[in-house]
Every structure is written in structure tokens, then in C-alpha cells.
A and B are shown apart, each in its own frame.
Chain A
Amino acid sequence: MLFGLVKLYNVTKIYDNGVKALTDVTMSVNKGEFLFITGPSGAGKTTLTRLIHREELPTRGQVIFDGKNIARIKSKEMALFRRRIGMVFQDFRLLPRKTVFENVALALEIAGEPWREIKKRVPEVLDRVGLLSKVKSFPSQLSGGEQQRVSLARALVNRPCLVIADEPTGNLDMENARELIRLLLEINHEGTSVLMATHALDIVNTLGKRTLSLEEGRLVQYEGQGTYRYGT
């Protein structure tokens, strides 16, 4: 708990339509750790990532990022805050009118990197996710898995201190999924904290990382050791 990068205290999230997506969740993501969040569909995994990224605000409770209550971030500081987190969205969220290169470059442009740097780093990271041959393609010309990997490249390119990957293997075959996990482990090894939400229990089980499990918006087992299964 001492090195908590992200801490949630008694967080409850009720959406505008009355759906209670999270109930009294208390947890933390430690600095430098690789943390899994599992749980069945609709358990609240995506909601959790949205709260950490401040796409949504908690109805009750607090989300602390690097010692700061993120509900108190002023709109001017919001941009800087979000740049510190690399998000791999479950629905990719690529810009449809931009090429793969431009989509990844966007994250660097937002961070104010010079063009020189962008031209160097974007191909590097695209090479890492195995999409160097697709730099000029538009998202609509890519498969679901490829789009997912572009989303990952965009999240990594800015070297954030936390990468949140929401179901990043959802559209990948076993081979590509393993490759992606290897990549996430690599950047975790380089010092980046990783929070990954997933259904893929086989991956969770083989890696032996700390795993939290959500069920109907509640944490059901606080600290698993990667051998936890939900249901029976």
C-alpha cells in the first residue's frame, strides 16, 4: 500500500440511468506492478478503468492517483494528468479519418513532442506491435485485432507511468494474444505499471500476477495469486 500509484477508497459508481456498476470498491495499483482485473461481462471492469482515467467520476468514494484525489483535478490540469496514463480502450477509440501512423503520432503531438521525435518513435512502437507494414492504412482497413494493437501502440508511445489495457486480447488469436502479453510484460519490466482487465483466465492463471476479481460490481476476492477462477 505504501507504493500505491492508484488507490480507490469505497468507490461506488451509479450511472445516470440508475445502473449500479461498482459497489464499495477499495483497491490499489502499486507502482511498477502488473495487475489483472477479471470478472464476467458486465462486472464493472471497464467502469473501473474509466474512473481511474477520470472519464467518469465516482458517485461515492475517492480515486487517488499519485497521491492526488483526481476528482479535484482542475480542467486545466486534466490534459497533463491524462497524458500520464496510456489507455488501451476496449473499443479501440481510433480516429477513423487518420492513418495508423497519425493515430499513434497523435499521442506524441498531444504531448508536444517535436516532429523529429515523432518520426522516430512511431515506427519503433509500431514495429513492437508488429504493424509496421500498416502505417498508411486507415482503421477501417484493419482487422479488429490490428486496431487493438494500434490502440496499444498509441498507449505505449508516450511512455506513460501507467498503462491501462481493457480487454486487449479480446480480438486476438492465441498467438497474437501471447505476443501482446509478452509486450505488456516487457514494458512492465521497464518500470511501467500495468492494469489489465480481461476475461482470458488462462493467461491470468499462467502468469501468476496479482489478480482482482469483480462480480456484479463488487470485489469478490481481494488478492488472488493468478489461480483464481470465477464461477465453477
Chain B
Amino acid sequence: MELRVLWRWWREALVSLFRNGWLALSAIGMVLVSLLILGFVCLLALNAAHVSRMVEEGIEVSVFVGEELAPDLVSQLGKELGQIEGVAGVTFIPKEQALEKLREDLGGKSGLLTGLEEDNPLPDAFRLRPEDASLVPAIARQAEALPGVEKVRYGEGVVEKLLSLTNWVRVAAVGLVAIFGLAAVFLTMTTIRLSILSRQEEIGIMKLLGATNWFVRGPFILEGIIIGSVGAMLAASFLYWGYLSLVEQIERATFVFIQPVAGSEVAMPIFGSLLACGVLLGAVSSALSVHRFLTV
């Protein structure tokens, strides 16, 4: 493509945006609002997925060893547990450590435990970290079948509910993003289509004067890209700023068990994906809208 052609597209697009100032501003506003909402929903979904993952990562399987098992058989059992499919890691917790932990947990009432050091009633245990939370019930079942295993605990019942909840959250998040994504596409397309509709006659005249389709289309697409990217950058800036202050608020609050995704981690996705959305939306809606009027 010749440089001159590109230069004309830019000139045409900028002059037209400038002369149709209000129309351009309202189109930018429309892109801004729809991408703002979409971005907000995306962040919500991102955090829901993040929290779900954190919850799932906390799920472990505790395997309690039978009391009479000889020490070498205990380490043998540890190896066998590690070989169960879906087990990512095995940690051995000797009964002394378990008692220590219990004492810490009891705090002031730890006096209750005095004298238990010599005759520790707690069993040795292994803690299994699953590769994936959904594998937990299967791992537990296999561990239970191994010789020398006294008891297996993983929060039966609760884990299943938790898993179905986190799965549901993920599906809902994807669904919401899809719905709001479609809404953003629809809103932007309608706005840009309306602004081009008012210039249908101009397009027809240019074609009658012997303009090629690209001669007409080029500036319109560029105009759409400018509108889309300006709207997207504004939306991303607002969103980023808003998210940072929200994260700060949450982190300052005491209930730290809900950790939002860090602001620095969302910056690139927000700016990158919203800008890509804006540019693509602008270009595609312009191209589609112009297309209808090109057959003169």
C-alpha cells in the first residue's frame, strides 16, 4: 500500500472525527461505558477464579498411621502414598509435631496437655497435597486401602460441596463475561453503525465518482479504530485506578482470607485486552457498517 493512501486515510479520519465532534464523542463514550462494564465483569471473574483456586489449594488429605507400625514400614508407607495417582506431594508429620501444633492451637488451655509427652496419644500422620482438588476423594479411597493406614480425613462432604461451588463460580464467571462481552459488541456496533448511517449518502456519492471500496472504507475503519482505542484506553485507566484503590481497601481490612489478585498482575491484562477489544470492535463494526452501503 502506498504511503500516500495511508496518509489520506489518517487525514480523512481525523478531519471527520473533528467535524463530527459530538458524534465521535458519543461513540467514544459508548465504547468507554461498555468496555468499562465488560472490564469490571472480567476483573470480578478473574478474582472469583483466583479465590476458588486458593480455596482448592488449601484442600489436603490427612492419612493417620496405625500405632503399632514399625518406623521403617512408616517410611515405606510414605513412599507408597507418594505413588498414588494425583498426589503432588507427601509431608510426614510425626506425632511429636502434631502435639506441638495442638498445644499452639489451644493456647492458654495448653495446660490440659501436660504429661502427654511421654505417652503421646496422637498418631503419626502424612499430609497429601493433591495435584487437583477434584482428585481428593479418589486419593483418599486409595490411601485407605493401603496396609498400616488407620484413618483418612479430608473434610468429607464439605470438600465435595466446596468443589461444586468453585466449579459453579467458574462457570458463572465465564458466562457473565460472555454475556457482557456480547453486550459490549452490540452497543459499539450499533453506535458506530448509526454514525455511518448518517453518511450513507456520502458513501454513495463517492462510489458514483469512481471511488474504490477501499478508498471509502479505509478512513471509516481508521475512524472506528481511533474511537475504539480511545474509549478502551479511558476505560482501562478508570478500571485500573478503581481496582487499585479497591485492592488497597480490602488489604487494609482485617479479613485477609479473601486475597484479591494483585493490582500489578492485572495491569497488563486490563490494558492489553481492553485495547485489543476496542481496536477490534471499532475496526470490525466500521467495516461491517460501511459494507452495507458500498454496493452502488
Q: Is B74 part of the binding interface, using a Cβ–Cβ cutoff of 8 Å?
A: no
The CA of A107 and the CA of B209, in the complex, are separated in Å by 7
The CA of A115 and the CA of B209, in the complex, are separated in Å by 18
Q: Is the CB of B206 within 8 A of A110?
A: yes
Q: Is the CB of B296 within 8 A of A55?
A: yes
The CA of A87 and the CA of B205, in the complex, are separated in Å by 11
Q: Is A83 part of the binding interface, using a Cβ–Cβ cutoff of 8 Å?
A: yes
Q: Mark B168-212, 1 if CB is under 8 A from A, else 0.
A: 000000000000000000000000000000010010011111111
- Chain B residues whose C-beta falls within 8 Å of the C-beta of A96 in the assembled complex: 202
Q: Is the CB of B4 within 8 A of A111?
A: no
Q: Is A106 part of the binding interface, using a Cβ–Cβ cutoff of 8 Å?
A: yes
Question: Given A95-B202, A95-B205, A97-B202, do A109 and B212 touch, yes or no (CB 8 Å)?
Answer: no
Q: Is the CB of A111 within 8 A of B205?
A: no
The CA of A53 and the CA of B204, in the complex, are separated in Å by 13
Q: Is B215 part of the binding interface, using a Cβ–Cβ cutoff of 8 Å?
A: yes
Total interface residues in chain A, CB < 8 Å: 22
- Chain B residues whose C-beta falls within 8 Å of the C-beta of A111 in the assembled complex: 210
What's the count of A-B pairs with C-beta under 8 Å? 47
The CA of A55 and the CA of B205, in the complex, are separated in Å by 10
Q: Is B20 part of the binding interface, using a Cβ–Cβ cutoff of 8 Å?
A: yes
Residues of A79-107 contacting chain B, CB below 8 A: 79-83, 87, 93-97, 106-107
Q: Is the CB of B208 within 8 A of A93?
A: yes
Question: Given A93-B205, A114-B4, do A81 and B210 touch, yes or no (CB 8 Å)?
Answer: yes
Q: Is B19 part of the binding interface, using a Cβ–Cβ cutoff of 8 Å?
A: yes
Taking the closest CB of chain B, its distance from the CB of A91, in whole angstroms, is 10
Question: Given A109-B8, A110-B215, A114-B4, do A97 and B208 touch, yes or no (CB 8 Å)?
Answer: no
The CA of A94 and the CA of B215, in the complex, are separated in Å by 17
Taking the closest CB of chain A, its distance from the CB of B216, in whole angstroms, is 9
The CA of A81 and the CA of B16, in the complex, are separated in Å by 28
Nearest to B295 among chain A residues (CB) is A75
Q: Mark B135-162, 1 if CB is under 8 A from A, else 0.
A: 0000000000000000000000000000
Question: Given A97-B202, A115-B4, do A82 and B16 touch, yes or no (CB 8 Å)?
Answer: no
Nearest to B16 among chain A residues (CB) is A97
Q: Mark A59-91, 1 if CB is under 8 A from B, else 0.
A: 000000000000000000011111100010000
- Chain A residues whose C-beta falls within 8 Å of the C-beta of B19 in the assembled complex: 97
- Chain A residues whose C-beta falls within 8 Å of the C-beta of B202 in the assembled complex: 95-97
Q: Is the CB of B208 within 8 A of A110?
A: no
Taking the closest CB of chain B, its distance from the CB of A177, in whole angstroms, is 25
Taking the closest CB of chain A, its distance from the CB of B83, in whole angstroms, is 69
Choice from A80, A97, A110, A114 contacting B209 with Cβ under 8 Å? A110
The CA of A114 and the CA of B8, in the complex, are separated in Å by 10
Q: Is the CB of A82 within 8 A of B20?
A: no
Residues of B1-60 contacting chain A, CB below 8 A: 4, 8, 16, 19-20
- Chain A residues whose C-beta falls within 8 Å of the C-beta of B208 in the assembled complex: 53, 55, 82, 87, 93
Q: Is the CB of A110 within 8 A of B210?
A: yes
Q: Is the CB of B209 within 8 A of A82?
A: yes
Q: Is the CB of B211 within 8 A of A79?
A: yes
The CA of A83 and the CA of B199, in the complex, are separated in Å by 22
Task: Sample 24 A-B pairs with CB under 8 A, ordered by A number.
Answer: A55-B296, A78-B210, A79-B207, A79-B210, A80-B210, A82-B209, A83-B209, A83-B210, A87-B208, A93-B208, A94-B205, A95-B202, A95-B206, A96-B202, A97-B16, A97-B20, A97-B202, A106-B206, A106-B209, A109-B8, A110-B209, A110-B211, A115-B4, A154-B209
